[in-house]
């Protein structure tokens, strides 16, 4: 596969890293420098998809009950709340960002920084009023992820990072990482994890291989598939749907019409997304995983959707997928 043009484009936009694996083989890797390859860096909200994997593993091992379990099972104060609907909030609602909690992640009076300035982050989240019935609408909320990390810690009896080491990182060959914690010692569920690009690639490969890595089934195929099914329609500027802390979308290349590919190529994919340009894309139809990382300030960042504008068209062209 000829990636010469892509390599030039990567250097032009000064990306931190880009890795592409097809059918389990690393086909392309670009690093700005040696540090980008070897040093763990912030993956921001891609942390949420790592947490999703840990929740699935805990459910598989019966450490956690099913997704329909009320959050009040772990935080009984919700059952006693004056807001009756809080008792109906489930793990599924937290995973799909449909908890109904009144929250502003982006713009306006942001809830996220107020949470991080509070003395008890999980308590802050659970004390917020509901603005909707749980399950009725998508509202991106990193507080949901913090509550999930706390639930995993309660259920497993281990800090989230230790559980990750034992059940996910070591089996994936991930040795280098750093993970932030809240004031109560709960690892941040929505952000705060640092990994290398190669570690992110291994994580994506685990999902492409339906929960199996190096001959070991780390996540059951049934639960993994459940975790990436589109559940909640997202809101602009993001397209597609949200699953269990994964984004789900499609790509349609109308340019392929009449070119031998049939009536245009349409690909479904799911991805982890982190602020500032951190991505892990999984494209089952192409048997491909793509990792992109950046570290520029917003004003210096390029405006190109590298995945949709550069990478997917190249893969489609090379693989002749219809």
Euclidean distance between CA atoms 254 and 128, whole angstroms: 45
Measured distance CA(204)–CA(129) in Å, rounded: 36
Which residues neighbour 115 within 8 Å (Cβ) at sequence distance 6 or greater? 121, 124, 125, 142, 143, 146
Phi, psi dihedral angles at 81 (to 5 degrees): -65, 145
**pTM, entire model:** 0.94
Q: Give per-residue pLDDT as tens, 114-126.
A: 999 999 999 999 9
Q: What is the chain's mean pLDDT, rounded?
A: 93
Question: Residue 247: which of 259, 229, 225, 264 has the closest Cα?
Answer: 229
pLDDT in tens, 26-57: 999 999 999 999 999 999 999 999 999 999 99
pLDDT at 257 over 50: no
Q: Residue 320's pLDDT is what?
A: 61
Q: In this structure, are residues 241 and 230 in contact, taking their beta carbons and an 8 Å threshold? A: yes
Domain carrying residue 15? 3-320
Q: Which residue has the higher pLDDT, 133 or 257?
A: 133
Give the dihedral of Cα atoms 312, 314, 315, 318; nearest 10 deg: 160
**Mean pLDDT score, 71-100:** 96
User: Looking at the predicted structure, is the pLDDT value of residue 159 above 70?
Assistant: yes
Total of domains in the chain: 1
Residue whose C-alpha is closest to residue 143's, from 113, 168, 164: 113
Cα-based distances in Å from 71 to 79, 93, 144 = 9, 9, 11
Q: Which two tokens stand for residue 8?
A: 């030039």
- Region 235-245: what's the mean pLDDT? 90
The per-residue pLDDT for range 127-146, each reduced to its tens digit, is 999 999 999 999 999 999 99
Q: Is the pLDDT of residue 262 over 50?
A: no
What is the pLDDT, as a whole number, of residue 254? 59
User: How far is it, in rounded angstroms, from Cα 231 to Cα 243?
Assistant: 5
What distance in Å separates the CA atoms of residue 247 and residue 230, rounded to the nearest whole number?
A: 8
Asked whether the beta carbons of 188 and 180 are under 8 A apart, the reply is yes
242 has which bridge partners? 232, 247
How far is the CA of 250 from the CAs of 6, 74, 118, 270, in angstroms? 22, 36, 39, 8
CATH number, domain with residue 236:
3.40.710.10
pLDDT level of residue 109 (50, 70, 90 thresholds): confident
């Amino acid at each position: 596969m000829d990636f010469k043009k892509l390599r030039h484009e990567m250097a032009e936009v000064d990306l931190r890293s880009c890795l592409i694996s097809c059918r389990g083989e690393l086909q392309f890797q670009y690093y700005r420098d040696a540090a980008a390859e070897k040093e763990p860096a912030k993956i921001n909200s891609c942390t949420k998809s790592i947490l999703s994997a840990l929740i699935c593993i805990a459910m598989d091992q019966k450490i956690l009950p099913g997704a329909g379990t009320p959050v009040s099972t772990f935080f009984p104060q919700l059952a006693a709340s004056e807001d009756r609907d809080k008792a109906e909030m489930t793990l599924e609602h937290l995973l799909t960002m449909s908890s109904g909690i009144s929250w502003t992640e982006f713009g306006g009076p942001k809830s996220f920084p107020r949470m991080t300035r509070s003395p008890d982050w999980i308590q802050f989240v659970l004390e917020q009023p509901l603005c909707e019935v749980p399950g009725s609408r998508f509202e991106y909320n990193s507080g949901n992820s913090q509550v999930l990390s706390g639930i995993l810690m309660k259920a497993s009896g281990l800090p989230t990072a230790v559980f990750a080491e034992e059940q996910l990182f070591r089996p994936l060959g991930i040795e280098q990482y750093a993970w932030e914690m809240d004031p109560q010692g709960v690892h941040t569920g929505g952000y705060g994890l640092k990994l290398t690009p190669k570690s992110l690639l291994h994580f994506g490969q685990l999902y492409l291989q339906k929960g199996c890595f190096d001959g070991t089934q780390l996540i059951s195929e049934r639960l993994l598939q459940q975790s990436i099914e589109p559940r909640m329609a997202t809101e602009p500027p993001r397209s597609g749907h949200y699953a269990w802390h994964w984004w789900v979308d499609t790509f349609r290349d109308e340019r392929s019409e009449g070119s031998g590919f049939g009536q245009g190529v349409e690909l479904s994919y799911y991805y982890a997304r982190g602020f500032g340009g951190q991505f892990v894309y999984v494209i089952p139809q192409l048997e491909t995983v793509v990792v992109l990382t950046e570290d520029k300030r917003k004003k210096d960042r390029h405006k190109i959707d590298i995945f949709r504008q550069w990478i997917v068209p190249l893969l489609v062209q090379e693989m002749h997928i219809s």
